[in-house]
Amino acid sequence: MSTTQASTPETTRSVTRTVTQLVGQVRRTTQALSWISRAAWVLLTLGAVGLVAGRMLGWVELVVLGAGFTATVMVAAIFAIGRHPYAIGLRLREGRVVVGERAMGGVDVRNVGDRPVLPARIELPVGGSRASFALPALAPAEEHDELFVIPTARRGVITVGPVSSVRGDPLGLVRRSVLWTDPEELYVHPRTVRMGSSAAGFLHDLEGQETRDVTNADLSFHALREYGPGDDRRYVHWRSSAKTGTLMVRQFEETRRSHMVVAMSSQERDYGDPEEFELVISALGSLGLEAIHASKDLTAMASHEVISSTTTRRLLDDLTRLEAVHSPSTLVDLARAVTRDVQRATVVVLLCGSEVGPREIRAAGAVLPLGVRSLAIQARIGAESTVHRLGQVTTLTLGSLEDLPRGFRKLERV
């Protein structure tokens, strides 16, 4: 009985090793089979059919044709045989660029083996496309650098990589690839403009805006009252105290810092052209950057998400990822979200496209909190920059990003 108990663990380990070896062989076989393209499988099938049918029918031509197809695949497989003794690195010159700026990257390859390696090919996915570079034969310790340019005509996050080395035949029948790097992301930020004194003047009017809340210490004097326990003696009004014979202290109306909310519609139906959507994103980014640089309180929103506005990088990164959506929400729903989620806002800027009608803009302004200065920026590509009133909302028609500072100068005269 003890012999049986002793042999059981040994049998289990033996079975486990056998299964592991079989799994490893299956994986290697599957990996090797993945080198063969569909075209190669078709040629192998035609070759087998030609050989069998030629022998059965006695047609020498079919036998020769089948043998030719099979030999073609066999010769192609020879090109895939070879070592990949490389150390490959991917580098991007910058991780963040603005639309239209030149973005450069490079691939560094070094032969880490002790023998020369035959030529190969380097493949690099860039967004939805794929770049391919010829890699020459490399002596031991020899290096090769390859530079490439990344197109940045559109805003977005471009995934670059992973880099792979490929060996195969010129026809692409058999190819063997090895991955070397992890993919990296390139942020193509939207274009923005400096607002300068335009936005600064717009926000300056809101700084120190009074509320109806009474406080014991602030800047805006309100009234006098009798001194009470805990009051700060610095605010005792001695002249009034001498007249009344009772200590009197000053009361103030509470003031508040300007808190700007920029909220854009991300509904695709609100835009007559995709360029309008890009214009709105650039306008939001320009206003957001101006508020952050001026150390103003800022909240940025879209129809379906809150946009990070703690730093300029996070703001632009979130805007870079922003996409148009399809949902039943409207600009009025966006204004309701601002009223519900943002406390103590002093100015609200709603941004939308040309497909939003005047009635909807007027209704959106009506649901914003009382006392909030409201502005709507409506993108209309090529239109002249104009300012007009729609109920409680001042509306700025924006034809291009360069018109944004001029539009704000017009707002100062309204």
Mean pLDDT per 10-residue interval, the chain, length 414 residues: 49 53 43 64 83 85 84 75 82 92 92 88 88 89 92 93 82 78 94 76 48 43 67 75 80 63 94 95 94 88 91 95 92 93 88 95 91 92 90 92 88 66
Residue 129: strand pairing partners: 126
H helix or E strand, kind and range, residue 22: helix 2-33
What pLDDT does residue 185 have?
Answer: 94
CB atoms within 10 A of CB 383: 14
Longest dimension (CA), the chain: 132
pLDDT of residue 176: 78
Strands 259-264 and 297-302: parallel
Q: How far apart are CA 109 and CA 138, in angstroms?
A: 9
Helical packing angle, 197-204 and 274-293, nearest 10° = 70
Say what the pLDDT of residue 24 is. 43
pLDDT digits (tens, 9 = 90+) for 279-329: 999 999 999 999 998 888 899 999 988 999 889 999 999 999 999 999 888
Determine the pLDDT at residue 39: 78
Give Cα separations from 40 to 7, 32, 106, 248, 384 (angstroms).
49, 13, 33, 98, 61
The beta strand positions in 268-358, using DSSP E, are: 297-302, 306-307, 347-352
Tell how strand 297-302 and strand 306-307 pair up.
Answer: antiparallel
Q: What is the pLDDT of residue 362?
A: 94
pLDDT value of residue 183: 92
pLDDT for 364 equals: 93
